[in-house]
Structure 1
Amino acid sequence: SDDNDVSRWLDYLLASFSQVDPTISDTASQLVGRGVDSEAVERTLIALVRSIAARPREIVLVLDDLHSLTDAASRWTLQWLLDQAPRNLHFVLVCRGAPPVSLSRLRAQQSVFELGFRDLRFSQGETEAFLKSKLDAIDRRTAQRLYELTDGWVAGLQLLSIGWSRKRDLQNTKFVSRGQIQDEQSFTDYFEHEILSKLSKAEYALLEAASICNRFCASLCAALLGKAEDSDRIGSLLASLVTQNVFIIPVETSDRETWYRFHPLLGETMRARLRQRPEVQRLQYHRAAWFWFRDHGYVDEAVRHALSANEAPAAAELLDQYGQDLLARGQFRNMNSLVRQLPEQEIQSRVNLRLWMARSQLLARELDACAESLQRLGADLPADDASAQFALALVKATLAVASDDTDAAMRVLPQMLHPPADADPAAIGGRDNILSWLYMHRADYELARRIQLTAPATRADGVPLLGSPGGRLQGRCLVGLSYALEGQIIEAERIYRDVLYESEQRGTSCIDPACLAAALLGEALYELNDPSAALQLLEDRVDVLERVSIPDSVLRVLSVLSASHWLAGRRQEALAYLDRLEDYAVGLKLDRLVAHSLGEQVRRHLEQSEFEAAKRKLATLEEIGQKHPKSGSHLGDEIFTIVARAQVRFDVAVGRYEAAAARLGPLIEVCEARGHQQIVAMLRLQNALVAKRRGMLDEAGKATLAALRLGHRLGLVRSLLDADTSALDLIRWYGDELGFDVLLSFYVERLGDAEASAQTAAPAPRNDGAESRTAVLESLSDRELDVIRLLSQAFPNKKIARALGLSPDTVKWHLKNIYGKLGVAGRDDAVSRMRDLGWNADGPAPSTS
């Protein structure tokens, strides 16, 4: 069926949980449309089970007709859910035969209760009670006869009771004397002889036509039968069939018109009969359904029926014309599924569909494939097709942003400056946001803001564009970022908070600006010395942020999480986030982000006096610097800055102050030219430190004063305190000379207070009783204990995943559960807590099954 597809299956799965509580599926729904590969699907499932686990109540997921789930990817998702389900999630699986998933592990854990046919059959007494509830009057002899015919099979009893109620004469039912009705085939045979054969010609024609649809209503059936004027009569006929218990079921919807669906066995029977009719009849029905769904705005169903009518060009034309409507409603996954059903030649003959395929590759992070698609499309487009050329330029620029390639985006800039008159409003909004992003990277912050503040409100069909990548909420975030890059952190923080609040009020339609605002706000909170608030904001969002955000945002998020954990004394957790950043960047071939991770790793190793480890990381970083020499390009200049800053830290750590001083002068000039005022303030303080250690006290004082004045003007805190482990000592040394400057003296006091508050107090010793310790240890699953055992050996996530045969995302999910059960915030705390509980880390080796 149309539902037997992993995209549609996930949509229905999330919708089912949303009926219990919409918030359960919120985070998972934010990952919709970001790919259908196993990694993307697993991220969605992890987000779902995390939300379920956070609820105090038990939840039961009922899956009927499980034998119909034949798609391998869909079966994999169900198997994953069964294997990784939290303790408050339970399953009821209903299947005609053996379920298409493995229950062996659950059986071994005695976590499965299985019922077969013999368990479900009614006894003779239950049969009589059931029949009496269905029929006005039935004698015991008739009830016994029906029981014998069905062997207590409930579906068979229901059918026979319908037939008996019509005739009131069991002996005249010739079919039932030929055998029992105890399986689906005999059900179908009986259905055909005793139910369908008794329908009027009009009733049968109605059901046959409707069988091509997953759902149907009166006006649709009238169109299928070519009798649009008879919609009211057909509506009455459908209602009558429901009253007669002919196994069609009303579907609850918000539509004014009543919708119905078939009982699965009736649907199978009707479709089997329809397959025996001439193909021209089936094609006629699908063609009529295609027209009806198209005219009533159900684009996805119209496309599916057009394809079933062997009208692939028409299906492609529908998506070409109305696909943007699906995207505006957030149906990325549905759009992706529909386009991929089209023949390749139909996609290649339409610019909009080719652009969508490129966008879908972009969403799935298939960056190389997207680049190839755009290259081929560019070669095929006429040079004078302004609209198509503008749309192509916009996707190219978006790819450049997703690839963290500012230089490539700059090359496309001229093509975006003059959009055609008929450009889509969403495209104009997207163009404006990309322009702001580019101008910020050129340090033209005022122009970046002007684009956002002077642009008219973008609308689509009269509705303001807010949540899309081209929406104004995204643009407001960029205005905040322009202030932050200038060092105006407090102004930026206000904007981020407002955008985040408004985005969250609007739900999943505003996931993009919500993610960007959260990432930028986390960075601002850390700078303003509130690392605990940054952790609280970002920790639960990091998986979604990593999946849906641009690389620049991912860099900010993972860097802030690492730095915040470091301040709290959680060294393993801090380094794990830097490893995660490096893995992310290597996977997408993003050298700038790899360099950032390596630069921070150099810094952290030096702070722990691990000079050999720092030296190895610095050597790897310098190789990246040689690959991208300073040449005036954005990438080359930034990597030069990252490498030089790491070299300065290493020189200072090993006492090479002359070398550090030689590097700092040119480095400060580059950062000033690029408008990176936060970095300039940090570098000036490092310059002061180097001068002091060289005995140049006057120069040290001047450099410290310059750093403090800049930091005070910009409202900086952590940028100065993180300049060096002895930064505060240097500031206080010079602060004694600042008595005449009230503003700077007060600023120095604030920095001192900030450093004191950032030092997290050691957790108070726990006084766990024996029962409490046992309860905590018993709450951990065998798999979680395996993970903790490897944590105690300082394994990073990748090695834990390899050792246990898990994906890195599943390891992260287990870690989150472990931290919650132990009441800790990170790896170091988890291992320490387990030791306090008396756990033996040297127990049996972890199972890899």
Structure 2
Amino acid sequence: MQPDFLPGAPALRTRSRRLLVRQALLDRLAGPEPGQRRCIVLRAPPGFGKTSLLLTWQRQLVAAEIDIAWVRLADIEGGDLQFMAALMAALAGIDSAIPRAAVVHARPDADAIERLVIALVRGVAAHGRRIVLIVDDAHRAESGNVLNALQLLVEYAPSNLLCVFAGRDHLPVTMAHAPVSKSVLELRNEDLRFTLAESLDYLRMRLPCIDERAAAAIHLLTEGWPALLRLAGAEVRRRRGTPSPLLHGRPDPEPFAAYFRAHVFPRLSVTQRRLLTLCAATARFSAALCADLAGEGYTAPLCAELLEPMVREGLLTALPHRMAGERWWQLHPLARAVLLLDFGAWPEAEQRKVHVSAWQSLTLRGMHHEDVRHALAAGDTDAAGRLAERGALTLFLQGRMSEVISLVRQLDPATLCTNPNLRLWMGWVELAEYRLDDCAGTVARLRAEASRLEPAMRYRLTLLDCLLAIRSDDNDAVSRLLPELLEAPPEADDFALAGRRNVLSWLYLHRGEFDEARRIQRDEPPPMIGGEPIVGTLFGALVGQCLIGLSYAVEGHMQRAERIYRNVLREAHERGARCAEAARLTAQLLVEVLYEQHGPIVAARFIQDQLGTHDGLIPDTTLRMIIVSNRAQQAAGRLREALAHLGQAAGFLQRYRMDRALACVLFERLRVELACNDVDAARASFQELDALHARHPDEDPRTLRQIGDVLARARIVLAVHDGELPFALAKIEALRERYEQRGQVNLVVSLLLHAAEVERRLGRGGASAARVRAALRLGHRLGLMQTLLSAHDNALALIRTVATEPQLDPVLVFYAERIEALARSLRDETAAPPPTTRFPEDRSVTRLLTLREAEIAELLLQSLPNKKIALTLGLSLDTVKWHLKNIYLKLDAHGRDAVAERMRHELARDGRK
């Protein structure tokens, strides 16, 4: 029986220490069939768990009755003879016969080492049983004779001997005579890092109550470095009642400083240590930036030569994408935290000099967040303000609004207050975050001191005011601003003129001036900034095309709208992350087309999979997604769930004072309450709608989707329910005439079917059929189907009756059959709708993602590969890749690491809350 304590092994009993069983690595160590592997090399910096791994492997080897000899060079004092003596003693611990011949042949001459090795390998071969020889701390093998002995042991090893070398540095032992490549296994620090699953198991072993999310945060901070993981666990356990910042992903340097300074930094040269300390001041760096920080005498090639070895040490990670044509690195987060302590101890003047060099260098590379941060750290708030203005404009025009937000937020309130241009940018940030009251306050204050603004900035303020009115669903306010918007001053910059084009289109289509809305996009010059076309942002040409599609959709021409939406979506995806806003708006607008052609359940699934939430980029899309999701519940007979959803939607719309959308939701609620035979509740909803209308007595009669129109439709529905049929028919005719005058012919289709039902109840069958035929002709021309089905409960029966008429146009007969097929698909038991989407209070990173995308992003945070993500979520690999593409687009991320970084910041932000 092999004893627990082996000659030369670390002086501890293995059963007294709980070691994590890293089965995947143990399987790799076990390797191919016995005799095929000649050598294993474990090479990694200190603290990567080389000895711990070998100790756990020792248990398996002992259980398999494999003999082990362990030589630890760190314990050997003296020279070559002491090493050979230790080697022979370790083998003698297995079988005293193994080194017997070596003792006989020990003579002090030039061939002594080779003679001893040959004698030992003969003894090993004669022993017969498998032997694993472990040489720990192999980097201590500095003597030529010792290295020669190790080389010969590998070259001359019989089939029953496996040599294992564990050390920190490259071991100058070649495997030139190894028969096949599988005979050598080399594991480096990247192989020895803990995976997320191993980190979770390790931390739970020492902290049984740790939350999985907190454990994942610690794994990210330590990057799977075993010694750091052990120190992190000890720190969390030490604090007990006081939560450690490590649990929230914040790199507290205190528990790790002693380890880095004792075991890691001494392995660096003085120059390397200084360069790392300089680079710790930056979040990421290139060789050229490092040279700029280091100053005279340093070049980019020299810095690259000095930095590259530190990747192997585990201190640096090469970022996957080149930026500004350069290769970039980032420091290990905990090493950086410790180095920042050292940097903070430098004289303040020297620190400021570094920050000045950093922001000047980063500005040349277009890295806007970093240059502002360093300008602030250098104490130059004026420079920080100028850089923030320039960066905000650049990022906004690239469609990277989330980065504009984080950029402006770096500035302190005093800097914002003294700079009206920056306050204007703060207004854009507030608008993007749906902080509409804050934005309105910013606009009001800036208008009160408009004389301080240059004419170009005043026109930008007009544009912001218009967009605030659009986001607030205040068409009347936009109409009041129209003259100011049309009178662009000569000094108006390209930024404002680009936005003006799309705002005017939106305004005209909501006034029913569809041709004018389309003319602006067709005839006016395309938006340009500095001679470059603007494509994917809210001011860009793609959003302009979306508005053309929306103008057709509001008219009711769904087929035209769909063609435009599909083309825009294709181009936006081809162009990538910079067209994220255009892609998201187009997908939101496409919901209505899917609803018409495939029904509410298909459209609701699209909302869940592609969009995630109901808060659209404009009020139109918000309302469409709410109604579509709700009608999916209604189609499945889940009326109570539909009512609960509408109640939440009403609260959401009230919070943002989107009264016109709220009116439509109240009308939808009234219809569902009548379907539930809750007449009292329906009348209460009508009273709420009437009170809402009373708050808007001066609606512009040219504006579409007026609250008064929604109230009129609610009055019609109640009148039909109460049997007041002539009154209902008169109201239908009046409203139909109003819609036709405005060009909202899609709404006429629904009114025609309402009129047909009233005529039927009045006993006028011929008039009812004529109304249905008119609805079918108009609906077919516009490409509508679900609108006809959802007009009222008896609409399908009316269509069926007319479809049997022998003289009916075959085109309309086929159209009626398609409507019937859509109705059958909604009755299909397998066509269950997805759960209604939540109405979030926050504007966090995950708000931008669908529920499925958020799950995948969290798994990226755990460093899982695509195949493991697919297995975990029960998805195909192609589906995971498709979702990843959408995640990169929505978060403006350029790879898995960038997504993980965004999610890590989210964890830290949640922890601060």
- After TM superposition, the score normalised by the length of structure 1 is 0.65
> Does the 8 A contact of 1:426 with 1:465 survive in 2?
no
| Residue 412 (structure 1) aligns with | 481
Q: What CA distance in whole angstroms lies between the structure 2 residues aligned with 1:237 and 1:809?
A: 41
The 3-state SS of whatever aligns with 2:710 is: helix
Q: Is 1:373 paired with 2:438?
A: no
Aligned to 1:526: 595
Mapped pair 1:132 → 2:138: yes
- Counterpart of 2:688 in structure 1: which amino acid? T
For 1:652 and 1:516, the matched residues in 2 are separated by: 37
Structure 2: distance between partners of 1:810 and 1:412 = 34
Q: CA deviation at 1:120?
A: 11
Q: Any idea what the Cα deviations from partners look like across 1:247-299, whole Å, max 9, x if unmatched?
A: 66766552555545556676556544444443212212222222222233322
Alignment of 1:227-376 (within 5 A): 227=296, 230-231=298-299, 234-235=302-303, 238=306, 242=310, 253-254=321-322, 257=326, 259-262=328-331, 267=336, 270-376=339-445
- 2:743 aligned counterpart, secondary structure: coil
Decide which moves more: 130-139 or 473-482.
130-139
The alpha carbon displacement at 1:579 in A equals 3.9
Bigger shift: 285-294 or 253-262? 253-262
CA–CA distance in structure 1, aligned partners of residues 265 and 306 of structure 2: 21
Aligned equivalent of 2:684, options 592, 604, 616: 616
1:421-500 correspondence to structure 2 within 5 Å: 421=490, 423-460=492-529, 463-500=532-569
1:252 & 1:736 partners in 2: Cα distance? 65
Q: How does 1:100-139 map to 2 (within 5 A)?
A: 129-132=135-138, 135-137=141-143
Aligned length: 637
Q: 1:428 to 1:241 in 2, by over 3 A?
A: same
Q: Does 1:586 align with 2:654?
A: yes
**Correspondent of 2:674 among 606, 614, 619:** 606
- Give the number of the structure with larger relative contact order, counting CA–CA contacts within 8 Å between residues 6 or more apart: 2
Q: Following TM superposition, by how much is the alpha carbon of 1:588 offset from its aligned partner in structure 2, in angstroms?
A: 1.6
Question: Distance between the aligned counterparts of 1:604 and 1:644, measured in 2?
Answer: 17
TM-fit CA distance, 1:363 = 1.2
Q: CA deviation at 1:368?
A: 0.6
Q: Could you say which structure has the larger radius of gyration? A: 2
Distance 1:328 1:250, change over 3 A: same
CA distance in structure 2 between the aligned counterparts of 1:130 and 1:330, rounded to whole angstroms: 55
| CA offsets 1:200-244 (integer angstroms, 9 cap, x no match) | xx66655554443344444334433441x6426743762597599
Equivalent of 2:825 in 749, 753, 760: 760
Residue deviations 1:472-495 (CA, integer Å, cap 9, x gap):
111112112212222222222222
Verify the 8 A CA contact 1:387 1:423 in the aligned structure 2.
Answer: yes
CA distance in 2 between counterparts of 1:244 and 1:703 reads 79
In the alignment, the residues of structure 2 paired with residue 735 and residue 257 of structure 1 have an alpha-carbon distance, to the nearest angstrom, of 68
The alpha-carbon deviation at position 630 of structure 1 amounts to 6.6
SS of structure 1 residue aligned to 2:137: helix
- Counterpart CA distance in 1 for 2:311 and 2:707 is 74
Distance in 2, matches of 1:243 and 1:754, equals 64
Match of residue 550 from structure 1:
618
1:732–1:748 CA contact under 8 A, matched in 2: no
Please tell me whether the aligned partners of residues 568 and 759 of structure 1 are also in contact (alpha carbons under 8 angstroms): no
Counterpart pick for 2:570 among 488, 496, 501: 501
2:612/2:847 contact within 8 Å kept: no
How far has the Cα of 1:534 moved from its partner? 2.7
- Please report how far the alpha carbon of residue 397 of structure 1 lies from its aligned counterpart in structure 2 after TM superposition: 1.0
Give me the whole-angstrom Cα distance separating, in 2, the residues matched to 1:279 and 1:755: 77
Distance in structure 2 (CA, Å) of the matches to 1:528 and 1:243: 55
Partner of 1:177: none
User: Cα gap change, 1:404/1:126 in structure 2, threshold over 3 Å: closer, same or farther?
Assistant: farther
Alpha-carbon distance in structure 2 between the residues aligned to 1:266 and 1:383: 48
Q: Aligned to 1:759, what secondary structure does the other structure show?
A: helix
User: Which consecutive residues of structure 2, in runs of 5 or more, have no partner in the other structure?
Assistant: 1-23, 25-48, 59-69, 75-134, 147-165, 172-230, 235-254, 857-872, 876-913
Is the contact between residue 536 and residue 580 of structure 2 (CA under 8 Å) also seen in structure 1?
A: yes
After TM superposition, the structure 1 stretch with the greater mean CA deviation from structure 2, 284-293 or 414-423, is 414-423
- Deviation (angstroms), 1:811: 13
For 2:654 and 2:724, the matched residues in 1 are separated by 32
Provide the secondary structure at the position in 2 that maps to 1:527: helix
1:220 to 267, 278, 289: 289
- Deviation string 1:700-739 (CA, Å, 9 cap, x unpaired) is 5665555445444434333333332223444555667782
Deviation of the 1:370 alpha carbon: 0.6
Q: How far apart are residue 551 of structure 1 and its match?
A: 1.8
Contact 2:476–2:699 under 8 Å retained in 1: no
CA distance in 1, matches of 2:338, 2:540: 49
**How far 1:599 moved relative to its partner?**
1.0
Q: Runs of 5+ in structure 1 lacking a partner?
A: 1-59, 61-114, 141-155, 162-180, 767-790, 802-806, 823-849
**Equivalence for 2:746:** 678
Q: 1:648 to 1:125 in 2, by over 3 A?
A: farther
1:751 to 793, 816, 839: 816
| CA-atom RMSD in angstroms | 4.7
Aligned counterparts of 2:615 and 2:532: Cα–Cα separation in 1: 28
Instruction: Give me the whole-angstrom Cα distance separating, in 2, the residues matched to 1:267 and 1:816.
Output: 29
Structure 1 residue identity aligned to 2:651 = D
Write out per-residue CA displacement over residues 660-689 of structure 1, whole angstroms, 9 at most, x where no aligned residue. Answer: 234223322332333221112322332233
Measured in 1, the distance between the counterparts of 2:450 and 2:840 equals: 49
CA distance in 1, matches of 2:280, 2:839: 52
The 1:333–1:514 alpha-carbon spacing in structure 2 relative to 1, beyond 3 Å, is closer
Contact conserved, 2:279 with 2:290, CA < 8 A, in 1?
Answer: yes
Q: Which amino acid aligns with 1:486?
A: E
Q: CA deviation at 1:134?
A: 7.0
Which of the numbers 463, 475, 481 marks the counterpart of 1:394?
Answer: 463
1:144-198, CA deviations, whole angstroms, 9 ceiling, x for partnerless residues? xxxxxxxxxxxx9959x9xxxxxxxxxxxxxxxxxxx9984544554799567x7
What is the identity, as a one-letter code, of the residue corresponding to 1:582? Answer: A
**Are the aligned partners of 1:217 and 1:260 in contact in 2 as well (CA < 8 Å)?**
yes
> Aligned match of 1:514 in 558, 563, 583?
583
The residue number in structure 2 matching 1:96 is none
Equivalent-residue separation in structure 1 for 2:352 and 2:55 (angstroms): 41
Contact 1:433 1:470 in 2 (8 A): yes
- 1:433-489 CA-to-partner distances (Å, cap 9, x unmatched) read 211111111111111111111133334455532211111111112112212222222
- Check the 8 A contact 1:629/1:636 in 2, yes or no: no
Residue equivalent to 1:56: none
Distance 1:541 1:219, change over 3 A: closer
CA distance in 2, matches of 1:398, 1:373: 13
The 3 A distance-change label for structure 1 pair 534 and 707 is same
Matched residue type, 2:627: S
Following superposition, the deviation at residue 398 of structure 1 comes to 1.0
Q: Does 1:567 align with 2:635?
A: yes
Moved more, 807-816 or 235-244: 807-816
